[in-house]
Amino acid sequence: MSRDAAIALAQKSFDSGRFRAELARRVAMPTESQNPDRRAELLRYLEDEMTPALEKLGFTTEIVTDDSAPGPFLIAERMEDPALPTVFGYGHGDVIRGLDAEWEDGLSPWSVTDRGDRWYGRGVVDNKGQHGINLAALEAVLETRGRLGFNAKYLIEMGEEVGSPGLHAVCDTYRDRLKADVLIASDGPRLSADRPTIFLGSRGGVNFDIWIDAREGGRHSGNWGGLLSNPAVQLSHAIASLVGPTGQIRIPEMVPTHVPEAVRRVLADCDITAGEEGKIIERDWGEPGLTPSERVFGWCALEVLAFEAGNPKTPVNAIPPRAWARMQLRYVVGIDPQAVMPAIRRHLDRQGLGMVQIGLTSDGIFKATRLDPDDAWVGWAVDSIAKTTGAKPAILPNLGGSLPNDAFSEVLGMRTIWVPHSYPGCSQHAPNEHVPTGIVREGLAMMAGLYWDLGENAPAVAR
């Protein structure tokens, strides 16, 4: 009975093909939460896959629902001793649309296909493969030691890809059952394919529309050009007043006052320009004076996701009556998301752009979260992963994207540590989603090491 034995057993599940077979069975379930026709698949994933997998590990399980959610939630608990620390795990079994016709020849979103050192299939990284790795590692520790040495709770949702409706309500309703010392879960990408990573929260998001309705119908550009305002021109100026020509945000309420020292310190060891993905980074884009890593993980970004005026596919000689754009602010801890829209309104009015209308989109606001990089749990996790891999993992204060992490950090009040089993080029949310097999095998080892160490020294760390 040893740490090395547990790690070896976890990796054996990869080497024997058992883990791949389990993943292939789960990927074959088309759990598209954006597609109402797939609702039965969302429940089937929990009933046929997650419930048996967790009950095999000694968890008690219950499937619960919330009226606002597209699919159900699975709550699982394994309590060994109330005096032991309690660790919370999370995953989502829903996936983004398959986009079947857009995959390369020979690939399908609903089957795991081997090509070289990669597995292709929808969900192999987002998120079936990632929570599958963690459950396989839990099983290896339990089989090796005969017990976990800590209490474990799990929550699997089926609506993350549509914004996690109902997740916060479920966390609030079942707060006592879900209470834990720390979340250790997996989603999102590593800093790079070859470097283990932990991240401690996520950037938030404010999605909003900005538009001008000038008049009914277009007007001939020859007869009316120079006499009527052009909404596309005006909206272009409005956007340019919010974000400069090199991507610098121009509204003080939409950026932090500084990058905290602890955040700057850990990011100094996180070079996102290294590796293949780093070659396309434009070093002169974004907030001046910051490193590329600080721009993504320590600062905010304002993006134009879509812009439309007139008829883009078949332009005609007419002044368009309307112009519209979808905007997105990715923001970090320190920004008040409720202050963003009023600040934009005041700014546009000061610029003489009162004709510009703004409004939050239906998905509205994701909150920003971040565990202090100096927290004792962070150091513990870094030491565990380094012991397993022989290399210090990258520490990201928060993911560059957005996750419903505030459901855990704020509603449930727990520390949050994420250990991703993917990489930036995995084609997540796109055709040809894939995972390098080396990340899978290393992920199994890392998580087995983490879970083993939880049973060895976490009680002291937790207090």
Domains of the chain, residue spans: 3-202+368-462, 204-256+300-366
Buried b / exposed e along 10-42 (16+ C-beta atoms within 10 A): bbebbeeeebbebbbebbbbbbbbeeeebbebb
Tell me the residue type at 188: G
Q: What is the CATH number of domain 204-256+300-366?
A: 3.30.70.360
Do 3-202+368-462 and 204-256+300-366 have matching folds?
no
pLDDT digit of tens for each residue in the chain (463 aa)? Answer: 899 999 999 999 999 999 999 999 999 999 999 999 999 999 999 999 999 999 999 999 999 999 999 999 999 999 999 999 999 999 999 999 999 999 999 999 999 999 999 999 999 999 999 999 999 999 999 999 999 999 999 999 999 999 999 999 999 999 999 999 999 999 999 999 999 999 999 999 999 999 999 999 999 999 999 999 999 999 999 999 999 999 999 999 999 999 999 999 999 999 988 767 677 889 899 999 999 999 999 999 999 999 999 999 999 999 999 999 999 999 999 999 999 999 999 999 999 999 999 999 988 899 999 999 999 999 999 999 999 999 999 999 999 988 899 999 999 999 999 999 999 999 999 999 999 999 999 999 999 999 999 999 874 644 4
Residues 6+ apart with CB under 8 A from 250: 241, 242, 243, 244, 347
Tell me the residue type at 173: T
What is this structure's pTM?
0.92
CATH class for the domain made up of 3-202+368-462: alpha beta
Q: 238 burial class (0-12, 13-18, 19+ CB within 10 angstroms)?
A: buried
